[in-house]
């Protein structure tokens, strides 16, 4: 369970994350949505101890992320940011193998090798595994990084806009894959998403943020209502029902 | 505006008087004021102090103007002769003269140095044009590196032909050797800056970009050529007579632009004044700090100037979040 | 991360085996073997070419110089590769950032405040240790400010580094001018790199410093690879980023002090050596790039010095040639980085 307790983060005068408290139980997919600048990515970074909070605290399975040794947390929680520029020239396989570092400390066992192979297979990267990252398309590279955090084999996986730079086909495939990881491997996945329809279609739970605060927290059906969406995005959004599936229409 | 300019001129005059008085040789101040100065004092003034002060003022003003013209033409605030390879190329030119035609008169030396400087700046322009993104900072970075490469070539030959001493004179600005008869080339630089002032509006327009300039019916290439020619000649003249002073023009042009904007017709007099005052103050500081020895002005500006440059660089707000 | 965690992982890394390494390091072995042979050849040539007279004397004399050059080569190579990894880019080097100029400024400052007479009386090794400590502290502050504070663009940091270099150099020459003329003579020698005049008093302490850094690198060789993934990913993988980077930077500062104290400032040597090492080493792993960089540095320095000094009779020209080639390499890297 991830407990976020009165977390605040300021840049200068503005509070990007403003006194947020949330409890994310283990298991399933939680999507964080909201307009640009709502503080979604910052909140995720604080949970993953990539950025320090100015106030409040975050605990993962009871461990305070600010004081727990990084090596301990790295076995429980993995996070992937949106932009990943890697200086070194690595092959896909080498990158994915880095996911084992918290476990192997650079001396991989047969089990580590198995994890690497599984992750590569899970993301369908076998044909690309000996290619260098800088030879891949943006979408392929994104999949390689997701394979790396899955290879880290943590209970919690945090992904900041994992659909960025993926085309429609690969975006849908990525969401199906994450759904499978949650269902089959029992992972708790928290992700920031831009597209509320993807969030509503795949997440078990949605947290909506606006101006650094949580304005909605509940199942997708609760969010996918015209009045709720308007209050989050400050624009009129029609909600159409196709069977029991609700679709937000905001294109015109 | 005129009033403030006059006030600034008075300030410069005060600095200039200080520059006349500071020095190792004894100056009979009371005699000067009462009109009964002895011949020795007058000679000291005429041969050394006045030429030095005038040289500093002329050099400072021209360096400021040269820098602001370059900044307009490259549309980049961090460009000036010492951040674009121009000054280093001028030293290479002087080295070539010293090796191949040591008897050339000083005017000839300057012209050769100016040609080298022009070539160096043109090479810089070529490199900058090859940059796909014109990140503001990569442009001066490229220029400084180009300067270092040219400097390495110069040092290599200076070392082989035992000219390191002369090289040091061209690379580190120093006014202590300025005497009557040895600085007059700087008047040429000053005349060129005056000429540039007549074309001030054109440079302002060129600073808004090639298409904008062409839209107004002006010939962009001609403006660029004129500007770079003036800059090269000014650089050559200062390098020949007093050596290189790093970042001086860059700093002055930036400070004035913050206070008075970028309309050159309005800001050029301020830049010239500020350049002269800054160099004069640095020169006086260099003479006082280890009296009776002198610290060359190039070194003083190297400390003060790079300090201010760093503040300009790192103090820039918000662009990178 | 707790200190015992750090040290236990240091030890577990000590015998550095591959992290999921399928591609046989055959190519790497060939490359490193060739470079090693070239380095040995350079050393042999340095010892023997043009020797006349009493061989025992010549060999002893040259061995000392050779040791100095090898130490400088290793110090510059390790410092540059480490620095590029922790600074997360491959244009910057400690020398381009002006750190060797900072060391010069510290040396000149010491002469200024203590006076040359006191310094001559002082054991040069003690003086080196004190100056290096000052260097670690001051450059560490500068580094933290530029790199560990808010994110700045790479070009800004590089430009600021170059200007810092000029600032420190001007400051040194300013302080030099403030000295008595005879004190001036003491420091003037330090301002120019000369591979011909290695300061042999410091060989033992320099060797200890270089060997110590070598051991640190060996133990951290996998952590360095993780660090090269960038701050966010290395934090995610459980590396105590801030602490590791701070410690590694101290190593860099010590190595810069070593090379500057031994031969003087050499701005572009590290850049040249590291860029070549990334090109020839089979992968970007530190267990390949570090040795490759060290060997290339030895070949360039010892071999270059042999050729220039013994064959062409030019003694200090090597530093100028290195500056020229290194400056060109920098321009190429810069133009390429802008295109990426």
Among chain C residues, CA nearest to B286: C174
In the prediction, which pLDDT does B213 show?
84
Most confidently modeled range among B23-27, B194-198, C107-111, C177-181: B194-198
Q: Is B152 on the interface with C (CB under 8 A)?
A: yes
Q: What is the ipTM of this complex?
A: 0.83
Question: CB distance A48–C239 less than 8 Å?
Answer: no
Rounded to whole angstroms, the Cα distance separating C241 from C237 reads 10
Question: CB distance C233–A98 less than 8 Å?
Answer: yes
Among chain C residues, CA nearest to A45: C232
CA dihedral A138, A144, A145, A148 (to 10 degrees): 180
- Minimum mean pLDDT range among B247-256, C65-74, C77-86, C278-287: C278-287
CA C168 to centroid of chain Cα atoms? 18
- Minimum mean pLDDT range among A97-106, B11-20, B125-134, B193-202: B125-134
In the prediction, which pLDDT does B318 show?
37
Mean pLDDT of B9-22: 85
Question: Could you say which of C23, C230, C236 has the minimum Cβ distance to residue A86?
Answer: C230
Q: Is B164 on the interface with C (CB under 8 A)?
A: no
Mean pLDDT of B218-237: 90
Q: Which residues of B touch C335 (CB under 8 A)?
A: 127, 130-131, 142
Quick: pLDDT tens for C261-319: 888 888 888 988 998 898 888 778 888 899 999 999 999 999 988 888 777 777 667 88
Up-side HSE of residue A234: CA atoms within 13 Å toward CB?
A: 7
pLDDT above 70: residue C116:
no
Tokens of residue C239, six digits: 């590396």
**Closest listed residue to residue A103, CA positions, set A54, A153, A37:** A153
Rounded to whole angstroms, the Cα distance separating C137 from B140 reads 30
- Minimum mean pLDDT range among C10-19, C52-61, C241-250: C10-19
Q: Which residues of B touch C160 (CB under 8 A)?
A: 310, 313-314
User: Chains that contact C by 3+ CB pairs under 8 Å?
Assistant: A, B
pLDDT above 80: residue C176:
no
Mean pLDDT of B74-103: 91
Quick: pLDDT tens for B180-227: 777 888 888 899 888 888 888 888 888 888 888 888 888 888 888 899
Phi then psi dihedrals of residue B280, to 5 deg: -65, -45
Which of B78, B130, B131, B145 to probe by mutation at the C interface, max C CB count within 10 Å? Answer: B145
In the prediction, which pLDDT does C178 show?
74
Mean pLDDT of A6-25: 86
Question: CB distance A69–C239 less than 8 Å?
Answer: no
pLDDT above 50: residue B158:
yes
In the prediction, which pLDDT does C190 show?
60
Q: What angle is formed at CA C68 by the lines to CA C264 and CA C187, rounded to 5 degrees?
A: 30
% of chain C surpassing 90 pLDDT: 16
Q: How far is B139 from chain C (nearest CA, A)?
A: 9
Quick: pLDDT tens for A142-163: 889 999 999 988 999 999 998 8
Q: Would you place residue C337 in the very low, low, confident or very high pLDDT band (cuts 50, 70, 90)?
A: confident
pLDDT above 50: residue C6:
no
Among chain A residues, CA nearest to C8: A105
DSSP reduced 3-state for A124: coil
Q: Would you place residue B57 in the very low, low, confident or very high pLDDT band (cuts 50, 70, 90)?
A: very high
Cβ partners under 8 Å of residue B184, min gap 6: none
In the prediction, which pLDDT does B45 show?
80
Question: Could you say which of B289, B300, B302 has the minimum Cβ distance to residue C166?
Answer: B302
Q: Which residues of C touch B146 (CB under 8 A)?
A: 327, 331
In the prediction, which pLDDT does B4 show?
81
**Closest listed residue to residue A101, CA positions, set B17, C225, B65:** C225
- Are the CB atoms for B61 and B276 separated by under 8 Å? yes
> SS in 3 state form for C274-290?
HHHHHHHCCCCCHHHHH
Rounded to whole angstroms, the Cα distance separating A179 from A202 reads 7
In the prediction, which pLDDT does C297 show?
94
CA dihedral C263, C268, C269, C272 (to 10 degrees): 180
Mean pLDDT taken over chain C: 80
Q: How far is C158 from chain B (nearest CA, A)?
A: 8
Q: Would you place residue C180 in the very low, low, confident or very high pLDDT band (cuts 50, 70, 90)?
A: low
CA dihedral C137, C143, C148, C152 (to 10 degrees): 160
Q: How far is C163 from chain A (nearest CA, A)?
A: 25
Tell me the torsion sign for CA atoms A139, A143, A149, A150: positive
Q: How far is A229 from chain C (nearest CA, A)?
A: 33
pLDDT above 50: residue C247:
yes
- Are the CB atoms for A223 and A248 separated by under 8 Å? no
Question: CB distance C320–B127 less than 8 Å?
Answer: no
Cβ partners under 8 Å of residue A206, min gap 6: A30, A31, A32, A33, A199, A200, A216, A217, A218, A219, A220, A222, A223
Higher-pLDDT residue of A183, C284: A183
pLDDT above 80: residue A124:
yes
pLDDT above 50: residue B320:
no
Rounded to whole angstroms, the Cα distance separating A242 from A129 reads 40
In the prediction, which pLDDT does A191 show?
92
For helices C26-48 and C286-298, angle between their N-to-C axes, nearest 10 degrees: 20
Q: Would you place residue C16 in the very low, low, confident or very high pLDDT band (cuts 50, 70, 90)?
A: very low
Most confidently modeled range among B50-54, C171-175, C189-193: B50-54
**Closest listed residue to residue C75, CA positions, set C267, C206, C233, C250:** C206
- Are the CB atoms for A16 and A40 separated by under 8 Å? no
In the prediction, which pLDDT does C169 show?
85
């Amino acid at each position: 369970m991830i407990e976020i307790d009165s977390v605040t983060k300021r840049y200068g005068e503005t509070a990007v994350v403003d006194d947020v408290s949330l409890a994310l139980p283990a298991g399933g997919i939680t999507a964080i949505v909201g307009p640009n600048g709502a503080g979604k990515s910052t909140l995720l970074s604080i949970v993953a101890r990539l950025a320090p909070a100015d106030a409040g605290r975050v605990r993962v399975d009871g461990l305070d992320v600010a004081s727990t040794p990084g090596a301990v947390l790295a076995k429980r929680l993995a996070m992937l940011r949106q932009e990943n520029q890697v200086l070194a020239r690595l092959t896909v396989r080498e990158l994915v193998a880095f996911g084992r570092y918290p476990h192997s400390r650079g001396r991989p066992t047969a089990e580590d090798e198995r994890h690497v192979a599984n992750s590569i297979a899970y993301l369908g990267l076998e044909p690309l595994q000996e290619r260098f990252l800088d030879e891949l398309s943006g979408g392929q590279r994104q999949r390689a990084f997701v394979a790396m955090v899955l290879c880290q084999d943590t209970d919690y996986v945090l992904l900041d806009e994992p659909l960025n730079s993926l085309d429609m086909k690969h975006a849908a495939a990525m969401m199906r894959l994450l759904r499978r990881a949650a269902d089959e491997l029992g992972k708790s996945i928290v992700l920031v998403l831009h597209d509320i329809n993807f969030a509503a279609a795949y997440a078990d739970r949605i947290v909506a943020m606006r101006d650094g605060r949580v304005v909605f927290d509940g199942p997708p059906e609760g969010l996918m209502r015209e009045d709720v969406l308007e209050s989050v995005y400050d624009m009129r959004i029609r909600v159409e029902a196709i069977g029991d599936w609700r679709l937000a229409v905001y294109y015109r | 505006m005129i009033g403030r300019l006059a006030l600034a001129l008075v300030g410069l005059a005060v600095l200039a008087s200080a520059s006349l008085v500071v020095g190792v040789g004894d100056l009979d101040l009371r005699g000067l004021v009462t009109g009964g100065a002895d011949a020795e004092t007058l000679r000291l003034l005429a041969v050394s102090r006045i030429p030095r002060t005038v040289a500093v003022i002329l050099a400072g003003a021209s360096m400021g103007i040269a820098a602001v013209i370059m900044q307009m033409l490259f549309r980049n605030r961090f460009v000036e002769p010492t951040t674009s390879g121009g000054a280093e190329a001028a030293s290479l030119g002087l080295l070539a003269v010293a090796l191949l035609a040591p008897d050339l008169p000083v005017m000839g030396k300057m012209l050769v140095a100016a040609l080298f400087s022009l070539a160096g700046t043109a090479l810089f322009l070529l490199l900058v044009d090859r940059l796909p993104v014109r990140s503001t900072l990569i442009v001066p970075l490229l220029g400084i590196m180009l300067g270092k490469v040219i400097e390495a070539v110069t040092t290599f030959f200076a070392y082989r032909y035992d000219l390191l001493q002369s090289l040091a004179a061209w690379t580190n600005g120093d006014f202590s050797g300025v005497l009557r008869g040895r600085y007059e080339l700087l008047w040429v630089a000053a005349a060129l800056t005056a000429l540039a002032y007549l074309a001030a509006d054109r440079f302002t327009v060129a600073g808004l970009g090639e298409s904008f300039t062409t839209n107004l019916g002006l010939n962009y290439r001609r403006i660029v050529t004129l500007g770079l020619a003036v800059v090269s000649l000014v650089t050559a003249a200062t390098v020949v007579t007093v050596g290189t002073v790093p970042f001086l023009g860059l700093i002055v042009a930036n400070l004035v632009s913050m206070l008075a904007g970028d309309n050159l017709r309005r800001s050029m007099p301020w830049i010239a004044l500020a350049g002269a005052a800054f160099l004069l103050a640095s020169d006086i500081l260099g003479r006082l700090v280890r009296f009776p020895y002198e610290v060359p002005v190039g070194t003083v500006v190297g400390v003060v100037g790079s300090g201010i440059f760093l503040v300009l660089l790192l103090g820039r707000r918000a662009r990178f979040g | 991360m707790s200190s015992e965690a750090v040290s236990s992982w240091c030890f577990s890394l000590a015998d550095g085996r591959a992290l999921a390494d399928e591609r046989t390091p055959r190519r790497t072995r060939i490359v490193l073997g060739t470079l090693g042979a070239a380095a040995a050849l350079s050393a042999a040539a340095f010892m023997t070419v043009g020797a006349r007279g009493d061989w025992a004397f010549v060999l002893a004399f040259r061995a000392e110089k050779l040791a100095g050059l090898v130490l400088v080569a290793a110090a510059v190579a390790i410092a540059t590769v480490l620095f590029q990894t922790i600074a997360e880019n491959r244009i910057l080097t400690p020398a381009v950032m002006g750190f060797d100029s900072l060391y010069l400024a510290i040396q000149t400052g010491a002469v200024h405040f203590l006076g040359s007479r006191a310094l001559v009386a002082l054991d040069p090794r003690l003086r080196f240790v004190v100056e290096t400590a000052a260097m670690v502290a001051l450059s560490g502050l500068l580094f933290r400010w530029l790199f560990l504070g808010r994110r700045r663009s790479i070009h800004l940091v590089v430009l600021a580094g170059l200007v810092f270099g000029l600032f420190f150099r001007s400051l040194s020459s300013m302080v030099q001018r403030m000295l008595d003329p005879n004190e001036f003579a003491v420091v003037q020698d330090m301002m120019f790199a000369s591979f011909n005049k290695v300061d042999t008093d410091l060989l033992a302490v320099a060797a200890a410093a270089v060997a110590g850094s070598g051991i640190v690198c060996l133990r951290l060789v996998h952590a360095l690879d993780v660090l090269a993934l960038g701050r966010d990913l290395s934090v995610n993988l459980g590396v105590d980023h801030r602490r590791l980077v701070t410690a590694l930077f101290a190593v860099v500062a010590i190595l810069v002090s070593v090379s500057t104290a031994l031969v003087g400032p050499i701005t572009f040597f590290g850049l040249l050596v590291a860029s070549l090492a990334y090109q020839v080493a089979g992968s970007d792993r530190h267990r390949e790039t570090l040795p490759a960089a060290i060997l290339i540095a030895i070949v360039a320095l010892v071999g270059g010095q042999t050729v220039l000094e013994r064959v062409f009779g030019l003694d200090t020209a090597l530093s100028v040639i290195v500056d020229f080639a290194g400056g060109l390499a920098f321009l190429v890297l810069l133009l390429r980085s802008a295109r990426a």
